[in-house]
Structure 1
Amino acid sequence: MLLRLRVSLPDRPGVLGQVARAFGVMGADILQVTVLEREAGRAIDDFTVSWSAVFSSDELRDRIGVVPGVKVEAAWPTREAPGANPDYDLLGHVAAEPGRAVLTLVDAVPDLVSAEWAVAVDAGSGEVVHGSWQAPETLQSARLTAPRATAFSEGTLNLLSVPIGDLCLVVARRQGPAFHRAEQDKVTRLVGVVSVLAHAGASR
């Protein structure tokens, strides 16, 4: 299975190697490391690992956390296969069928940020216009249609809302951590490119 772990670690030589060895001892094969931030002597990295699930995810998290100064903030399943380039595939589909741009974006974006589902919400009424697989048919939150990109939590549900014309793209993750600002930036830029491609396609 594929697992994503968000790890906070000291930003100094050798620590990443220690973490990699700890993953190896647990039987987890590191497929990708994404640096989310580096500041004040610490880094936050997302590790995507292939893992046989001999241990529970909690055990894996606890054992990686024994490396001095390392803290595993979250561990959750992911469908984001490294090297698959789903963001390029998304943009290719949007360019080919610009009239379906929002639908394509909603269906694809959960896999791009290891989320569970996404919806397009009418910014005026708050009604769900389109939802990806596993998305609820209705949502109730005044924060879903914020005028700018916003990441927030409601109970155990972590949400990211990004305006797209008269709609808002809402992405949700229950099993993983709150959306990091790097993930928010990624989705915001993706929405911008999709909007440009959809507009250009409609003008042809």
Structure 2
Amino acid sequence: MVLVSYLLRVVLPDRPGALGAVASAIGEAGGDIVGVDVVEHRSDGSAVDDLLVDLPTGRLLDSLVTACRSVDDVTVEFIGHYSPGGHLHRDLEAVEAMTTDPKNADTILVDLIPGVFRSGWSLLVSLDGGRVRVERAAGGAPETDGYLAPWMPMGKPTRIVTDAWAPESWTDVVAVGAPLEVPERAIILGRDGGPRILDSELARLSHLADLVTVIRQSTHLQQSSAHGESEGQHAGGTGTA
């Protein structure tokens, strides 16, 4: 049996049993939930969850939407194909990966963002002669290199407006960015066609970008400390010779 993976973003009541009811309805429709991530808890008593669902080929995609809507007070914000072999990752997994190789924490984060934020792409960009230079891209990011982008330099977390600067590959893109160490360098999270990027997701991206700086700086401090100790031992040995 061949399975197709879909990403569903659902809004449901933030109360015990609501997710279980959705899972049961999806199961009755033939879907198998293989990943769940709580994206946001809202002040109105609702929650936003991302569900990674496998559906056998031949089953109608609309059946998943109908199943979710059969549960009281549940709506589907987005549904779309999820890349084969894709997985949902949590922010902590990204941090753990970055700390294993601190010097490359920035590129590691770019590679992991499509999994952390689900069905998206990412870019690590910097300014070069006033134009955007792409240092690294992941998840099928659109053409960006060499363009004059009004969102760079980036002094704070920013929602990127795809106006006159953007090439055709940015059509229907939703994207946000966060500065990485300096305003002339930034990490971009984007999605083609949705789902929309929530304020909570932008805050998480900014936090992860800040952690890149902390992790990389800690490496420099450790190296400086080790170098200082080495020099001190060398000096001490010379003095007692």
Interval of TM-score (by shorter of Structure 1 and Structure 2):
0.7 to 0.9
Question: Within 1, Cα distance between the matches of 2:106 and 2:45?
Answer: 40
What number of residue pairs does the alignment pair up? 202
Q: Where does the alignment leave 5 or more consecutive residues of structure 1 unmatched? A: none
Mean Cα deviation higher: 154-163 or 11-20: 11-20
Q: Quick check: 1:163–1:169 contact (8 Å CA) kept in 2?
A: yes
Which residue among 129, 133, 139 is the counterpart of 1:127?
133
Question: Within 2, Cα distance between the matches of 1:187 and 1:42?
Answer: 22
Which residue among 207, 222, 228 is the counterpart of 1:189?
207
Equivalent position of 1:165 in the other structure: 181
What amino acid sits opposite 2:13 in the alignment? P
Look up the SS of the partner of 1:161 in the other structure: strand
Equivalent position of 2:71 in the other structure: 67
Question: Within 2, Cα distance between the matches of 1:85 and 1:144?
Answer: 28
- Runs (4 or more) in structure 1 with deviation over 6 Å come to none
2:200 corresponds to 1:174 = no
TM-score by length of 2: 0.70
Q: Alpha carbons of 1:51 and 1:195: their partners in 2 closer, same or farther (altered >3 Å)?
A: farther
Question: Within 1, Cα distance between the matches of 2:161 and 2:12?
Answer: 24
Q: What are the superposed Cα offsets for residues 156-178 of structure 1, whole Å, 9 maximum, x if unpaired?
A: 11112011123110011114311
Mean Cα deviation higher: 174-183 or 49-58: 49-58
Equivalent position of 2:112 in the other structure: 108
1:1-204 to 2 correspondence within 5 Å? 1-12=4-15, 14-30=17-33, 31-76=35-80, 77=82, 81-82=87-88, 87-88=92-93, 90-123=94-127, 125-138=131-144, 140=147, 141-143=149-151, 145-152=153-160, 154=162, 155-166=171-182, 167-203=185-221, 204=223
Structure number with bigger Rg: 2
What amino acid sits opposite 1:9 in the alignment? L
CA RMSD of the aligned region, Å?
2.8
Question: Within 2, Cα distance between the matches of 1:142 and 1:80?
Answer: 32
Q: Where does the alignment leave 5 or more consecutive residues of structure 2 unmatched? A: 163-170, 224-241
Q: What are the superposed Cα offsets for residues 92-144 of structure 1, whole Å, 9 maximum, x if unpaired?
A: 44334333222222122111111332111215633222222522342554236
Q: Alpha carbons of 1:161 and 1:57: their partners in 2 closer, same or farther (altered >3 Å)?
A: farther
Q: Alpha carbons of 1:111 and 1:153: their partners in 2 closer, same or farther (altered >3 Å)?
A: farther
Question: Within 1, Cα distance between the matches of 2:95 and 2:106?
Answer: 11
TM-score by length of 1: 0.81
